[in-house]
Amino acid sequence: MAGLTLVVLMAVLGYGEPLIERYVTHFSYEEQHPEFALQPPGTQDISRDYSSFDGEGSHFDALDRNGDGFIGGDRELRDLYWIDRFFMFLFDDYDGVLPLIPSASAPKAVLKPIVAADNRISFDEFPVGFRHLNAQFSAEFFDHSADRFALAVQQDTSRLEGLVEERFRALGLRRADVFSRIDRDDDKNLTQDEVNEYRRCFRPFEKGAEAVATMDVDGDGRIARHEFLGAPELHTFFLGTDHLGRDVLTRLVYGARLSITIALLATAVSFFIGVTWGAIAGYYGGRVDNIMMRTVDVMYGLPFLFIVVLLMVVFGRSTINLFIALGAVQWLTMSRVVRGQIITLKEREFVEAAEVMGVSRMRIVFRHLLPNTVGPVIVYSTLMVPAIILEEAFLSFLGLGVQPPHASWGLMITEGVQVMETAGWLLLYPSIFLGLTLFSMNMVGDGIRDALDPQLERD
């Protein structure tokens, strides 16, 4: 029972992958983060988060001045406008979502003028001086969110500069680019006029309304906490990443869908072909048996890959064809197992009894004989599942099966083997998933067999 639960769980997991992606991993199976290639389990994805981050909600709290749980009203909207405006200035691709700057090491804001007394901002002083000069602009904004948006001021200028550089780098910006935008005359100094010109572009309330329109979902003209873009999304690669920086957990869950589906369907295909073939050969015996089983022998002789490749070429390369091809090759042993069973069973008296009663031969095969073969057949079927998962990996490796960016367990294990020494988790976790599934498959097989055997019925 536990086994069945686990298999069902795996399959559900696989098909629930979009949901899991949405609520648990926050990565899609094909999403690449090259900067996080081959990171061990537990690595946190920071870069991703600058698209929206409001760690402890301080951005919201800062903007919600009157603390009523909404950003609304002239004053608060103007703040919003400034933020909006500033980010538009800082980021060419800013689309209304607040960026993140890692806050763990951010110093507390200490408002202290550090600008040289010449009333200009040199490149070295930017953006610190910029902020200071634009007292209204900066104070109102940075005051509230200084610990988050850490263009903070510190007495220790050198440290601050290092920090600023680091933040800009994290944002993918160069300080010089930003500076040169404001520095119209390109004299490497920002004068009050240049800053003022920049500020004249402000049309506070119109633009603020745009920001509201972006975030205000329920259309009441104000932004509630849950509407505020910037909910915390610091994501973790729970099981690490692969060589392209893809999340292993997401790919495992996605792979469950492909692997389990292919394995179960291919087993079903081979089950039906093999059981029917073996049963008919075994029951009719004689020449029929000879012809049918020699056919099987010939097919045993053909290289299995050759057949699969042929089938894939004839019927096209798709996942459906993949499992049909695998099943069409795997049924040979099944038919032998069933034939052997049927041959011993057909000498039993209840078969004679059925014949004496005038039951037709097909009915005897399918109603009387096949249920009696269920034990070995089920056991063999459950053993076939892992074999098919691994064969699928082999085919994928040859470029015939599942292709990247899609993931299957077999494929992941094959990839994992290659980097086993440097990134063991790439082999370990898919193997654990596969092992667990196979283990539970066997338990399911036992369970099905027991359930189908009336002599074990509890009454």
* Residues lying near another protein in the complex (CB under 8 A): 285-286, 348-350, 352-360, 363, 367-368, 371-372, 374, 452-455, 457, 459
Closest to another protein by CB, 219 vs 286, is 286
Residue with tokens 């909006």: 84
CB 142 within 8 A of CB 62: no
Find the shortest distance in angstroms from Cβ 284 to another protein.
Answer: 11
Residue 428, classed as helix, strand or coil, is: helix
Find the shortest distance in angstroms from Cβ 410 to another protein.
Answer: 36
Q: Which residue in 320, 435, 448, 326 sits closest to 379, CA to CA?
A: 448
Closest to another protein by CB, 278 vs 327, is 278
Residue with tokens 């292919």: 262
Closest to another protein by CB, 19 vs 288, is 288
Closest to another protein by CB, 253 vs 364, is 364
Residue 234, classed as helix, strand or coil, is: coil
Calpha distance 188→194 (Å, rounded):
12
Calpha distance 191→115 (Å, rounded):
12
235-237/43-45 β-pairing: antiparallel
Find the shortest distance in angstroms from Cβ 270 to another protein.
Answer: 23
Closest to another protein by CB, 206 vs 457, is 457
Residue 380, classed as helix, strand or coil, is: helix
Closest to another protein by CB, 63 vs 351, is 351
Find the shortest distance in angstroms from Cβ 454 to another protein.
Answer: 4
Find the shortest distance in angstroms from Cβ 456 to another protein.
Answer: 10
Exposure string for 203-238, b = 16+ CB within 10 A, e = fewer: eeeebbeebbebbbeeeeebbbeebbbbeebebebb
What's CA 36's distance to the chain center, in Å? 15
Find the shortest distance in angstroms from Cβ 376 to another protein.
Answer: 14
